[in-house]
Chains A and B, each alone.
Chain A
Amino acid sequence: MAISVLICDDSGFARKQMARALPDNWDVEVSFACNGEEAIQAISEGKGEVVFLDLTMPVMDGIQTLTYIREHDLNAMVIVVSGDIQPEAQTQVSQLGALDFIQKPISKEKSAEVLKRFGLL
Protein backbone atom coordinates (compact mmCIF):
# COMPACT_ATOMS: atom_id res chain seq x y z
CA MET A 1 0.00 0.00 0.00
CA ALA A 2 1.20 3.49 -0.82
CA ILE A 3 2.72 5.54 2.01
CA SER A 4 1.10 8.93 2.55
CA VAL A 5 3.64 11.74 2.27
CA LEU A 6 2.93 15.32 3.24
CA ILE A 7 5.06 18.20 2.04
CA CYS A 8 4.64 21.30 4.16
CA ASP A 9 6.24 24.56 3.06
CA ASP A 10 4.88 28.07 2.57
CA SER A 11 6.68 28.36 -0.74
CA GLY A 12 5.09 26.74 -3.76
CA PHE A 13 8.48 26.53 -5.38
CA ALA A 14 9.92 24.76 -2.34
CA ARG A 15 7.00 22.28 -2.30
CA LYS A 16 7.62 21.55 -5.96
CA GLN A 17 11.35 21.17 -5.39
CA MET A 18 10.65 18.75 -2.57
CA ALA A 19 8.17 16.72 -4.58
CA ARG A 20 10.69 16.47 -7.41
CA ALA A 21 13.34 15.28 -4.98
CA LEU A 22 11.29 12.26 -3.88
CA PRO A 23 12.70 8.94 -5.18
CA ASP A 24 11.10 7.91 -8.49
CA ASN A 25 10.42 4.34 -7.48
CA TRP A 26 8.81 5.15 -4.18
CA ASP A 27 5.15 4.15 -3.90
CA VAL A 28 3.59 7.21 -2.30
CA GLU A 29 0.50 9.35 -2.12
CA VAL A 30 1.67 12.98 -1.92
CA SER A 31 -0.29 15.83 -0.32
CA PHE A 32 0.71 19.43 0.29
CA ALA A 33 0.28 21.99 3.05
CA CYS A 34 1.26 25.67 3.16
CA ASN A 35 1.67 26.04 6.91
CA GLY A 36 1.58 24.12 10.17
CA GLU A 37 -2.17 24.41 10.60
CA GLU A 38 -2.85 22.83 7.25
CA ALA A 39 -0.23 20.18 7.99
CA ILE A 40 -1.88 19.17 11.26
CA GLN A 41 -5.24 18.98 9.54
CA ALA A 42 -3.77 16.73 6.84
CA ILE A 43 -1.91 14.54 9.35
CA SER A 44 -5.08 13.94 11.34
CA GLU A 45 -6.78 12.90 8.09
CA GLY A 46 -4.07 10.26 7.69
CA LYS A 47 -2.33 12.08 4.84
CA GLY A 48 1.02 12.44 6.57
CA GLU A 49 2.68 9.22 7.63
CA VAL A 50 5.89 10.83 6.45
CA VAL A 51 6.08 14.64 6.67
CA PHE A 52 8.67 16.90 5.09
CA LEU A 53 8.43 20.03 7.17
CA ASP A 54 9.83 23.52 6.64
CA LEU A 55 10.67 25.66 9.69
CA THR A 56 10.10 29.30 8.69
CA MET A 57 6.45 29.64 7.78
CA PRO A 58 3.67 32.10 8.53
CA VAL A 59 0.56 31.21 10.59
CA MET A 60 2.18 28.27 12.35
CA ASP A 61 5.87 27.58 11.93
CA GLY A 62 7.76 24.30 11.91
CA ILE A 63 8.77 24.36 15.58
CA GLN A 64 5.19 25.01 16.67
CA THR A 65 4.01 22.22 14.37
CA LEU A 66 6.51 19.72 15.77
CA THR A 67 5.50 20.68 19.30
CA TYR A 68 1.83 20.14 18.47
CA ILE A 69 2.49 16.77 16.84
CA ARG A 70 4.41 15.69 19.89
CA GLU A 71 1.92 16.94 22.45
CA HIS A 72 -1.02 15.35 20.65
CA ASP A 73 0.91 12.21 19.84
CA LEU A 74 -0.01 12.40 16.16
CA ASN A 75 1.06 9.58 13.90
CA ALA A 76 3.70 11.24 11.72
CA MET A 77 7.38 10.72 11.00
CA VAL A 78 8.73 14.19 10.49
CA ILE A 79 11.80 15.08 8.47
CA VAL A 80 12.65 18.76 8.73
CA VAL A 81 13.78 20.42 5.51
CA SER A 82 15.05 23.86 6.32
CA GLY A 83 17.10 26.81 5.21
CA ASP A 84 17.86 27.60 8.83
CA ILE A 85 20.89 25.42 9.39
CA GLN A 86 22.09 26.84 12.69
CA PRO A 87 23.18 24.07 15.09
CA GLU A 88 20.64 25.28 17.61
CA ALA A 89 17.75 24.76 15.19
CA GLN A 90 18.98 21.22 14.47
CA THR A 91 19.19 20.34 18.15
CA GLN A 92 15.79 21.83 18.83
CA VAL A 93 14.00 19.83 16.14
CA SER A 94 15.62 16.56 17.12
CA GLN A 95 14.59 17.17 20.72
CA LEU A 96 11.06 17.69 19.45
CA GLY A 97 11.14 14.27 17.86
CA ALA A 98 12.00 14.96 14.23
CA LEU A 99 13.69 12.00 12.52
CA ASP A 100 16.23 14.06 10.66
CA PHE A 101 17.22 17.49 9.48
CA ILE A 102 17.92 18.15 5.82
CA GLN A 103 19.53 21.35 4.63
CA LYS A 104 17.87 23.19 1.76
CA PRO A 105 18.04 23.09 -1.20
CA ILE A 106 16.93 19.47 -1.21
CA SER A 107 18.19 16.99 -3.81
CA LYS A 108 17.10 13.51 -4.91
CA GLU A 109 20.29 11.99 -3.50
CA LYS A 110 19.84 13.54 -0.08
CA SER A 111 16.20 12.56 0.29
CA ALA A 112 16.91 8.97 -0.82
CA GLU A 113 19.80 8.70 1.61
CA VAL A 114 17.69 9.83 4.56
CA LEU A 115 14.68 7.69 3.63
CA LYS A 116 16.90 4.62 3.31
CA ARG A 117 18.51 5.29 6.66
CA PHE A 118 15.12 5.14 8.35
CA GLY A 119 13.96 2.10 6.40
CA LEU A 120 11.29 4.04 4.55
CA LEU A 121 12.65 3.12 1.16
Chain B
Amino acid sequence: MTNQNISNDEFKEIHSLMGMLQNLDVGLVVLDREYNIQLWNNFMESHSGMNPYEVRNQNLFSVFPEINQVWFTHKAECVFQLNTRAFTTWEQRPYLFKFKNYRPITGSAEFMYQNTTIIPLDSATGQVERIGIIVYDVTDVAVNKLELKAINSKFKQLSRVDKLTGLYNRGYWEECLISEFKRAKRTEQPCSLVMFDIDHFKTVNDKYGHPAGDVAIKFVSDALVNTIRETDIAGRYGGEEFAAILINSTAEQAAVFAERLREYVEQSILEYQGIKFNFTISLGVAEVASGTQSHNEWLDTTDHALYYAKEHGRNQVHIATKQKN
Protein backbone atom coordinates (compact mmCIF):
# COMPACT_ATOMS: atom_id res chain seq x y z
CA MET B 1 0.00 0.00 0.00
CA THR B 2 1.36 3.46 -0.88
CA ASN B 3 1.44 6.20 1.66
CA GLN B 4 -2.19 7.12 2.20
CA ASN B 5 -1.44 10.35 3.98
CA ILE B 6 -1.36 13.31 1.70
CA SER B 7 1.62 15.63 1.54
CA ASN B 8 1.61 19.13 2.97
CA ASP B 9 1.38 20.66 -0.52
CA GLU B 10 -1.58 18.56 -1.50
CA PHE B 11 -3.21 19.34 1.79
CA LYS B 12 -2.79 23.08 1.20
CA GLU B 13 -4.12 22.70 -2.32
CA ILE B 14 -7.21 20.90 -1.21
CA HIS B 15 -7.77 23.59 1.36
CA SER B 16 -7.40 26.37 -1.17
CA LEU B 17 -9.94 24.65 -3.39
CA MET B 18 -12.24 24.63 -0.47
CA GLY B 19 -12.84 28.38 -0.41
CA MET B 20 -16.53 27.86 -0.96
CA LEU B 21 -16.81 24.78 1.19
CA GLN B 22 -14.96 26.54 3.98
CA ASN B 23 -17.76 29.01 4.36
CA LEU B 24 -20.55 26.48 4.38
CA ASP B 25 -22.23 26.29 7.73
CA VAL B 26 -21.84 22.53 7.89
CA GLY B 27 -18.92 20.48 9.11
CA LEU B 28 -16.81 18.56 6.60
CA VAL B 29 -14.28 15.95 7.65
CA VAL B 30 -12.41 13.38 5.57
CA LEU B 31 -10.98 10.28 7.23
CA ASP B 32 -8.68 7.64 5.82
CA ARG B 33 -9.01 3.90 6.34
CA GLU B 34 -7.34 4.15 9.77
CA TYR B 35 -9.63 6.99 10.85
CA ASN B 36 -6.91 9.62 10.57
CA ILE B 37 -8.20 13.10 9.80
CA GLN B 38 -7.38 14.20 6.24
CA LEU B 39 -9.60 17.23 5.85
CA TRP B 40 -11.12 19.64 8.33
CA ASN B 41 -13.16 22.64 7.23
CA ASN B 42 -13.77 26.01 8.77
CA PHE B 43 -16.93 24.96 10.58
CA MET B 44 -15.02 22.19 12.30
CA GLU B 45 -12.17 24.51 13.14
CA SER B 46 -14.43 27.19 14.62
CA HIS B 47 -16.48 24.85 16.75
CA SER B 48 -13.67 22.61 17.94
CA GLY B 49 -11.05 25.33 18.35
CA MET B 50 -8.55 23.14 16.52
CA ASN B 51 -7.07 24.21 13.22
CA PRO B 52 -6.64 21.82 10.28
CA TYR B 53 -2.88 21.54 10.76
CA GLU B 54 -3.28 20.50 14.37
CA VAL B 55 -5.59 17.62 13.57
CA ARG B 56 -4.18 16.50 10.23
CA ASN B 57 -3.14 12.84 10.23
CA GLN B 58 -4.29 12.56 13.80
CA ASN B 59 -6.56 9.70 14.72
CA LEU B 60 -10.13 10.87 15.15
CA PHE B 61 -10.61 8.97 18.38
CA SER B 62 -7.45 10.26 20.01
CA VAL B 63 -8.34 13.87 19.15
CA PHE B 64 -11.95 13.36 20.28
CA PRO B 65 -11.94 10.72 22.98
CA GLU B 66 -15.59 11.49 23.74
CA ILE B 67 -16.68 9.93 20.44
CA ASN B 68 -18.03 6.45 21.07
CA GLN B 69 -15.56 4.49 18.99
CA VAL B 70 -17.56 1.26 18.85
CA TRP B 71 -20.65 3.06 17.67
CA PHE B 72 -18.97 5.25 15.12
CA THR B 73 -16.84 2.52 13.59
CA HIS B 74 -19.91 0.30 13.33
CA LYS B 75 -21.48 2.94 11.06
CA ALA B 76 -18.29 3.82 9.23
CA GLU B 77 -17.31 0.21 8.50
CA CYS B 78 -20.59 -0.23 6.63
CA VAL B 79 -19.57 2.68 4.44
CA PHE B 80 -16.06 1.35 3.89
CA GLN B 81 -17.13 -2.22 3.22
CA LEU B 82 -20.39 -1.82 1.38
CA ASN B 83 -19.61 1.42 -0.45
CA THR B 84 -22.92 2.87 0.66
CA ARG B 85 -23.90 6.05 2.49
CA ALA B 86 -24.80 6.04 6.14
CA PHE B 87 -26.91 8.57 7.97
CA THR B 88 -27.07 9.15 11.69
CA THR B 89 -29.65 11.31 13.44
CA TRP B 90 -29.60 13.26 16.67
CA GLU B 91 -32.27 10.88 17.93
CA GLN B 92 -29.69 8.07 17.97
CA ARG B 93 -27.01 10.14 19.65
CA PRO B 94 -27.39 13.88 20.18
CA TYR B 95 -24.01 14.61 18.62
CA LEU B 96 -20.90 13.12 17.10
CA PHE B 97 -18.61 16.00 18.03
CA LYS B 98 -19.38 17.64 21.34
CA PHE B 99 -19.68 21.27 20.32
CA LYS B 100 -21.34 24.09 22.19
CA ASN B 101 -24.69 25.39 21.07
CA TYR B 102 -24.30 28.02 18.37
CA ARG B 103 -26.55 30.32 20.40
CA PRO B 104 -24.96 30.21 23.85
CA ILE B 105 -27.20 32.93 25.27
CA THR B 106 -30.75 32.53 23.96
CA GLY B 107 -30.54 28.86 22.99
CA SER B 108 -32.01 26.42 25.50
CA ALA B 109 -29.75 23.49 24.57
CA GLU B 110 -26.34 23.21 26.11
CA PHE B 111 -24.69 21.57 23.12
CA MET B 112 -25.18 21.34 19.37
CA TYR B 113 -27.48 18.55 18.20
CA GLN B 114 -26.07 16.99 15.03
CA ASN B 115 -27.16 14.87 12.13
CA THR B 116 -24.36 13.35 10.13
CA THR B 117 -23.97 11.78 6.72
CA ILE B 118 -21.05 9.47 6.10
CA ILE B 119 -20.18 9.10 2.43
CA PRO B 120 -17.75 6.76 0.69
CA LEU B 121 -14.92 8.48 -1.20
CA ASP B 122 -12.28 7.40 -3.71
CA SER B 123 -14.31 4.45 -4.81
CA ALA B 124 -13.24 4.48 -8.47
CA THR B 125 -11.47 1.16 -7.94
CA GLY B 126 -14.42 -0.18 -6.02
CA GLN B 127 -12.36 0.05 -2.83
CA VAL B 128 -13.41 2.78 -0.45
CA GLU B 129 -10.20 4.33 0.83
CA ARG B 130 -11.61 7.39 2.52
CA ILE B 131 -14.88 8.50 3.99
CA GLY B 132 -16.36 11.95 4.27
CA ILE B 133 -18.41 13.06 7.24
CA ILE B 134 -20.87 15.89 6.83
CA VAL B 135 -22.03 17.35 10.14
CA TYR B 136 -25.28 19.33 10.26
CA ASP B 137 -26.31 21.54 13.14
CA VAL B 138 -29.92 20.55 13.90
CA THR B 139 -30.21 22.04 17.38
CA ASP B 140 -33.35 24.07 16.65
CA VAL B 141 -35.20 21.16 15.10
CA ALA B 142 -34.17 18.82 17.88
CA VAL B 143 -35.12 21.18 20.68
CA ASN B 144 -38.52 21.89 19.13
CA LYS B 145 -39.21 18.24 18.62
CA LEU B 146 -38.15 17.32 22.14
CA GLU B 147 -40.35 20.04 23.63
CA LEU B 148 -43.29 18.94 21.54
CA LYS B 149 -42.76 15.37 22.61
CA ALA B 150 -42.66 16.36 26.27
CA ILE B 151 -45.91 18.31 25.93
CA ASN B 152 -47.59 15.49 24.05
CA SER B 153 -46.63 12.93 26.63
CA LYS B 154 -47.95 15.20 29.37
CA PHE B 155 -51.24 15.56 27.51
CA LYS B 156 -51.35 11.84 26.98
CA GLN B 157 -50.80 11.26 30.68
CA LEU B 158 -53.50 13.79 31.57
CA SER B 159 -55.99 12.21 29.22
CA ARG B 160 -55.47 8.85 30.89
CA VAL B 161 -55.98 9.87 34.47
CA ASP B 162 -59.08 10.49 36.54
CA LYS B 163 -58.81 13.95 38.06
CA LEU B 164 -60.20 13.25 41.53
CA THR B 165 -58.38 10.03 42.32
CA GLY B 166 -55.29 10.09 40.10
CA LEU B 167 -56.19 6.52 39.03
CA TYR B 168 -56.46 5.62 35.36
CA ASN B 169 -59.83 6.59 33.93
CA ARG B 170 -62.19 4.03 32.51
CA GLY B 171 -61.13 4.51 28.88
CA TYR B 172 -57.45 4.00 29.43
CA TRP B 173 -57.95 1.31 32.06
CA GLU B 174 -60.01 -0.68 29.56
CA GLU B 175 -57.21 -0.39 26.99
CA CYS B 176 -54.87 -1.86 29.60
CA LEU B 177 -57.39 -4.59 30.36
CA ILE B 178 -57.49 -5.60 26.69
CA SER B 179 -53.73 -5.84 26.38
CA GLU B 180 -53.33 -7.65 29.72
CA PHE B 181 -56.06 -10.09 28.72
CA LYS B 182 -54.20 -10.83 25.48
CA ARG B 183 -50.94 -11.18 27.34
CA ALA B 184 -52.41 -13.58 29.89
CA LYS B 185 -53.81 -15.70 27.07
CA ARG B 186 -50.53 -15.70 25.21
CA THR B 187 -48.21 -16.38 28.14
CA GLU B 188 -50.67 -18.62 30.03
CA GLN B 189 -49.67 -16.80 33.22
CA PRO B 190 -52.42 -16.33 35.78
CA CYS B 191 -54.02 -12.90 35.87
CA SER B 192 -56.92 -11.75 38.02
CA LEU B 193 -59.37 -8.94 38.02
CA VAL B 194 -60.82 -7.32 41.13
CA MET B 195 -63.84 -5.02 40.93
CA PHE B 196 -65.40 -3.33 43.89
CA ASP B 197 -67.66 -0.51 44.92
CA ILE B 198 -68.61 1.40 48.03
CA ASP B 199 -71.58 -0.07 49.89
CA HIS B 200 -74.58 2.26 50.17
CA PHE B 201 -72.64 5.09 48.61
CA LYS B 202 -75.88 6.98 48.01
CA THR B 203 -76.47 7.04 51.76
CA VAL B 204 -72.98 8.47 52.37
CA ASN B 205 -73.73 11.23 49.87
CA ASP B 206 -77.22 11.93 51.24
CA LYS B 207 -76.18 11.89 54.87
CA TYR B 208 -72.86 13.76 54.74
CA GLY B 209 -73.05 15.59 51.41
CA HIS B 210 -71.30 15.13 48.08
CA PRO B 211 -67.95 16.58 49.20
CA ALA B 212 -67.85 13.85 51.86
CA GLY B 213 -68.62 11.34 49.08
CA ASP B 214 -65.57 12.63 47.23
CA VAL B 215 -63.49 12.20 50.37
CA ALA B 216 -64.68 8.59 50.56
CA ILE B 217 -63.78 7.99 46.93
CA LYS B 218 -60.36 9.55 47.34
CA PHE B 219 -59.80 7.49 50.49
CA VAL B 220 -60.66 4.22 48.74
CA SER B 221 -58.49 5.01 45.74
CA ASP B 222 -55.51 5.86 47.97
CA ALA B 223 -56.05 2.62 49.87
CA LEU B 224 -56.15 0.77 46.55
CA VAL B 225 -52.92 2.35 45.32
CA ASN B 226 -51.18 1.54 48.60
CA THR B 227 -52.32 -2.08 48.53
CA ILE B 228 -51.45 -3.08 44.98
CA ARG B 229 -48.00 -3.83 43.58
CA GLU B 230 -46.32 -1.50 41.13
CA THR B 231 -47.06 -3.73 38.16
CA ASP B 232 -50.78 -3.98 38.92
CA ILE B 233 -53.14 -1.65 37.10
CA ALA B 234 -55.82 0.24 39.01
CA GLY B 235 -58.60 2.33 37.53
CA ARG B 236 -61.73 4.23 38.51
CA TYR B 237 -64.32 2.30 36.59
CA GLY B 238 -67.39 4.38 37.40
CA GLY B 239 -68.67 6.81 40.05
CA GLU B 240 -67.97 4.72 43.12
CA GLU B 241 -66.76 1.66 41.26
CA PHE B 242 -63.09 0.66 41.05
CA ALA B 243 -61.14 -2.04 39.28
CA ALA B 244 -57.66 -3.50 39.47
CA ILE B 245 -55.82 -5.93 37.22
CA LEU B 246 -53.48 -8.10 39.27
CA ILE B 247 -50.72 -9.42 37.04
CA ASN B 248 -49.40 -12.93 37.73
CA SER B 249 -51.99 -13.58 40.42
CA THR B 250 -54.38 -16.47 40.80
CA ALA B 251 -57.93 -15.87 42.01
CA GLU B 252 -56.92 -17.06 45.48
CA GLN B 253 -54.00 -14.60 45.64
CA ALA B 254 -56.24 -11.83 44.37
CA ALA B 255 -58.81 -12.69 47.03
CA VAL B 256 -56.17 -12.27 49.75
CA PHE B 257 -55.46 -8.82 48.37
CA ALA B 258 -59.18 -8.05 48.18
CA GLU B 259 -59.79 -9.20 51.72
CA ARG B 260 -56.95 -7.03 53.03
CA LEU B 261 -58.42 -4.00 51.27
CA ARG B 262 -61.93 -4.79 52.56
CA GLU B 263 -60.69 -5.09 56.12
CA TYR B 264 -58.68 -1.89 55.92
CA VAL B 265 -61.67 0.11 54.67
CA GLU B 266 -64.01 -1.42 57.22
CA GLN B 267 -61.69 -0.48 60.10
CA SER B 268 -60.99 3.07 58.92
CA ILE B 269 -62.88 6.07 60.18
CA LEU B 270 -63.04 9.15 57.96
CA GLU B 271 -63.70 12.69 58.95
CA TYR B 272 -65.25 15.47 56.94
CA GLN B 273 -65.84 18.90 58.48
CA GLY B 274 -65.72 17.45 61.97
CA ILE B 275 -68.18 14.67 61.23
CA LYS B 276 -66.81 11.19 61.55
CA PHE B 277 -68.16 8.43 59.32
CA ASN B 278 -67.21 5.05 58.00
CA PHE B 279 -68.31 2.66 55.27
CA THR B 280 -67.57 -0.72 53.71
CA ILE B 281 -66.88 -2.10 50.27
CA SER B 282 -67.94 -5.23 48.35
CA LEU B 283 -65.55 -6.96 46.01
CA GLY B 284 -65.70 -9.47 43.15
CA VAL B 285 -62.72 -11.47 41.92
CA ALA B 286 -62.21 -13.48 38.74
CA GLU B 287 -59.16 -15.06 37.15
CA VAL B 288 -58.68 -15.43 33.40
CA ALA B 289 -59.60 -19.04 32.61
CA SER B 290 -58.56 -20.98 29.54
CA GLY B 291 -62.18 -20.82 28.45
CA THR B 292 -62.47 -17.03 28.78
CA GLN B 293 -63.12 -15.78 25.27
CA SER B 294 -62.78 -12.04 25.59
CA HIS B 295 -61.88 -9.26 27.99
CA ASN B 296 -65.58 -8.40 28.11
CA GLU B 297 -66.42 -11.88 29.31
CA TRP B 298 -63.75 -11.56 31.99
CA LEU B 299 -65.18 -8.22 33.04
CA ASP B 300 -68.74 -9.65 33.16
CA THR B 301 -67.64 -12.60 35.28
CA THR B 302 -65.98 -10.27 37.77
CA ASP B 303 -68.97 -7.98 37.79
CA HIS B 304 -71.25 -10.94 38.55
CA ALA B 305 -69.02 -11.91 41.47
CA LEU B 306 -69.29 -8.36 42.78
CA TYR B 307 -73.06 -8.49 42.35
CA TYR B 308 -73.11 -11.77 44.27
CA ALA B 309 -71.17 -10.17 47.15
CA LYS B 310 -73.71 -7.32 47.21
CA GLU B 311 -76.68 -9.68 47.13
CA HIS B 312 -75.28 -11.75 49.98
CA GLY B 313 -74.87 -9.06 52.59
CA ARG B 314 -72.16 -6.68 51.28
CA ASN B 315 -68.81 -5.97 53.01
CA GLN B 316 -67.37 -9.16 51.60
CA VAL B 317 -65.24 -10.70 48.83
CA HIS B 318 -66.68 -13.17 46.36
CA ILE B 319 -64.58 -15.22 43.95
CA ALA B 320 -66.21 -16.18 40.68
CA THR B 321 -66.37 -19.95 40.24
CA LYS B 322 -63.72 -21.14 37.81
CA GLN B 323 -65.03 -21.76 34.32
CA LYS B 324 -64.70 -25.14 32.75
CA ASN B 325 -62.90 -25.37 29.42
The reply, when asked whether chain A contacts chain B directly with Cβ atoms under 8 A, is no
Which A residues are within 8 Å of any B CB, using their own CB? none
Give chain B's interface residues, CB within 8 Å of chain A: none
